[in-house]
Amino acid sequence: MNTLEVTGVSKTFDTPSGPLPVLERLTFSARKGELICILGPSGAGKTTLLRSISGLDRPDTGSVVLRGSEIDGPPEHLAFVFQDYSRSLLPWTSVVKNVELVLLRFSLMASERRERAMRALESVGLADFASSYPWQLSGGMQQRVAIARALAYDAPLLVMDEPFAAVDAQTRAELQDLLLEVHGQIESALVFVTHDVDEAVYLADRVIVLSKRPASVSVELDVELPSPRDQLVTKADPEFARLRTEVLSAIRH
């Protein structure tokens, strides 16, 4: 069974100018442990797709199924990492408390919550900053906290909405490598939305390119670059260049 199945999803919004079709019979799936990157032209409907996956919007037709159950509201088995880490973290409480926040819904003892949160922070290299406050950390470190919080929740599906877009290029590369390292240690399916073609090819097991609005799947590419991936070696690989060109061409056309 696939972790996520998006089947024939269509969505149209009513606007003062008339109906605005945004998604049209969009179909794809994500397997357990698979990292999928989704790209598309600006305004193609990526945000609407994510809102459908996260249960914030219901499609007009089609279905979104997570672990065999159709999504009709925010699902229990999904963790989300947002682009704007500064708004997703609580500045008035510590890093470890921010991570523990998602665990309050479980029947766990305080010591169990703390242990689980610390394991997640250790996996992103921030165990030594557990008692710090988010505003005391750099942007890249704050996004690591957001990733740790999603990991602590231990959901079968992890959705990331352009999570590295707000950091500088060097930090972005470091976070990409961190994500690959962490993802190799978990079994969650990961849906990663980005505008960066190089990032998508570097990270993904599979790249999905959406068409212009109303969005459907334009191109679906398996990425079979050697692992572990490396910022220098992988991006110098001729296969990386070929895939990058194919993805870019699909977006432009």
Is this prediction's pTM over 0.85? yes
DSSP-H helix ranges across the chain:
46-53, 85-88, 95-100, 110-123, 139-153, 169-183, 197-203, 238-252
For 177-204, give one letter per residue: b (16+ CB within 10 A) or e. Answer: bbbbebbeeeebbbbbbbebbbbbbbbb
Q: From edge to edge, which strands make up the β-sheet containing 69-70? A: 18-30, 4-15, 61-66, 69-70
**Is the CB of residue 80 less than 8 Å from the CB of residue 150?**
yes
Cis peptide before 226 (omega within 30 of 0): no
67-71, 74-78, 85-89, 171-175, range with the lowest pLDDT: 85-89
| 145-201: pLDDT as tens digits | 999 999 999 899 999 999 998 888 999 999 999 999 999 888 999 999 999 999 999
| 57-68: pLDDT as tens digits | 999 999 999 999
Whole-number pLDDT of residue 228: 93
The CATH classification of domain 4-77+163-252, taken from the options 3.20.20.70, 3.30.420.10, 3.40.50.300, 3.10.20.30: 3.40.50.300
Could you tell me the residue ranges of all domains in the chain?
A: 4-77+163-252, 92-154
CA atoms within 13 A on the CB side of 170: 1
**63: Cβ contacts below 8 Å, ≥ 6 apart:** 5, 6, 7, 8, 9, 70
DSSP string, 74-141: S-TTEEEE-S-HHHHS-TTS-HHHHHHGGGTTS---HHHHHHHHHHHHHHTT-GGGTTS-GGGS-HHH
Whole-number pLDDT of residue 34: 96
Tell me phi and psi for residue 48, to 5 degrees: -65, -40
